Amino acid sequence: MTTFTRNFLAGCAFVVAFVSTTAIAAPITDVKEYSNNAVGEYFVKDDASKTNLPYYRRQNDDWEWQHTAIGGTFSSILLDISAFDVDFESLIAGEVDYIYVFTGTNWFNLGNLAGANDVWAFSSFDLSGFSWANDQVNAGLKVRMDIDVLTEGWAVTLGKSTLSLDGGNQTCVPTPGVPCNPTVSEPMTLGLFGLALFGLSLRRKKAKNV
């Protein structure tokens, strides 16, 4: 085995070790949607079904769901909820649908869904600053929706709920039935870039020694 080959293999081993180590804290996106509905969960199958029962729900049709339990310590925790036909105008007029999460002891109001008439849109909630958030992600974050709290006759359908940790590893659109796309995590990107640079430098050294 040549010196070049030995050095190159050593470099590969270093990069693999680097990527493997950093992968422990790699970004994660947990997606709740129709394909993994549990009993009592009503994420809709596709856009064509958005106004069908039991997905298009009104006051007194409130429901909740639970994300997968994910171990680890996360600095960024973002919850994005895709909803159809949220006619939100203000907290005193129009459609108001509140979103709650379980803190371990009680239900905490994150705020209301945002959106517009007859469109799909994500409403984003940042849980990063709450002391209880990481523990609840580890336990499986529970989310609840209170529909039409002003009792004005509104209805809403949910397409998906995405829990993105440390940036997430998937990119999603609000429309149901459209798969999320995987994204390359930063540690993996840096590792591959470093490996390429390492190989290039060895080739240059070998060329100089010839």
Tell me the pLDDT tens digit for each residue of 136-193: 999 999 999 999 999 999 999 999 999 999 999 999 999 999 999 999 655 554 444 4
Contact status, residue 121 vs residue 176, Cβ threshold 8 Å? no
Top-level class of domain 27-183: mainly beta
* Position 128 pLDDT exceeds 70: yes
Does pTM surpass 0.85?
no
Contacts of 102 (CB under 8 A, 6+ apart): 108, 136, 141, 142, 143, 144
- What share of the chain has pLDDT > 90, as a percent? 74
Coil, strand, or helix at residue 90? strand
pLDDT confidence tier of residue 195, bands split at 50, 70 and 90? very low
Helix (H) or strand (E) holding 208: helix 186-209
Contact status, residue 146 vs residue 62, Cβ threshold 8 Å? yes
Q: In this predicted model, which residue has the larger pLDDT, 199 or 152? A: 152
Q: In this predicted model, which residue has the larger pLDDT, 21 or 2? A: 2
pLDDT confidence tier of residue 17, bands split at 50, 70 and 90? very low
For 156-168, how does the pLDDT look when each residue is reduced to its tens digit (9 = 90+)? 999 999 999 999 9
pLDDT for the residue numbered 189: 45
Contact status, residue 190 vs residue 61, Cβ threshold 8 Å? no
